[in-house]
Structure 1
Amino acid sequence: MSTIRRIAKGTSSFGKRHNKTHTMCRRCGQLNDAFRRRSMHIQKKECSSCGYPSAKIRKYNWGEKAKRRKTTGTGRMRYLKDVSRRFRNGFQTGCPKGARGPTKRES
């Protein structure tokens, strides 16, 4: 009688896994030191987190929590945090009104 050998799919198979499938992403990994995303798939050359090299950032409505983590307002907002204040003041630019001297009227 011959014995049937079963191919193991469990514990013994896990020891053979020593190749990395993902590496650091140029857009969401190296630039963002807080998270250090290692989600760039090496063979596909596509990031599983942000979708790089696609022009648009990867986001789905079924990933509501993920959208909340990455959305506007979770970072520094270096430019955008000043816009609301500038909007209230009418986007003033240049010198103060009195510093320019008397205005010339053309008629």
Structure 2
Amino acid sequence: MTKGAQSLGRRNNKTHTLSRVTGTQSWHKQKKRCASSGHGAGTKLRRYNWAKKAIRRRSQGTGRMSYLKHVQRRAKNGFREGTKAQSVKRKAVAPK
């Protein structure tokens, strides 16, 4: 069989489908494993040091950071809790 157009026409079955974890087309249907995150193979996230850019894409600071974005401000104030801001009372202007 040749290597060109005739071979490419025979590729009509899908090995990968949508992953529940990453949302990408990388869930291998037979292996039951996500090629992107490694979900299904174990508990740890798939991560290699030879793929620095891939680590950068999914590292801390790329998402919403719904908890972490407030920590720096709270640390600046010493993690105080249960206090109320003092009201700034305006001086009444005396009528002339």
1:81 to 69, 75, 88: 69
Task: Find the aligned partners of 1:97 and 1:83 in 2 and give their Cα distance.
Answer: 19
2:17 to 18, 23, 37: 23
Structure 2 matches for 1:4-19, cutoff 5 A? 7-19=1-13
Structure 2 matches for 1:29-44, cutoff 5 A? 29=23, 37-44=24-31
The structure, 1 or 2, with the larger RCO (C-alpha pairs under 8 Å, 6+ apart) is 1
Give every structure 1 segment of 4 or more consecutive aligned residues whose post-TM-superposition deviation is greater than 4 Å.
none
1:29-69 per-residue CA deviation (whole Å, 9 max, x = no partner) reads 1xxxxxxx111111111101111122121111000111111
Task: Find the aligned partners of 1:70 and 1:76 in 2 and give their Cα distance.
Answer: 12
One-letter amino acid of the structure 1 residue matched with residue 39 of structure 2: Y
One-letter amino acid of the structure 2 residue matched with residue 15 of structure 1: G
TM-score (structure 1 length as normaliser) = 0.71
Note the aligned Cα RMSD (angstroms): 1.7
Structure 2 gap segments, 5+ residues each: 87-96
TM-score (structure 2 length as normaliser) = 0.79
Number of residue pairs aligned between Structure 1 and Structure 2: 85
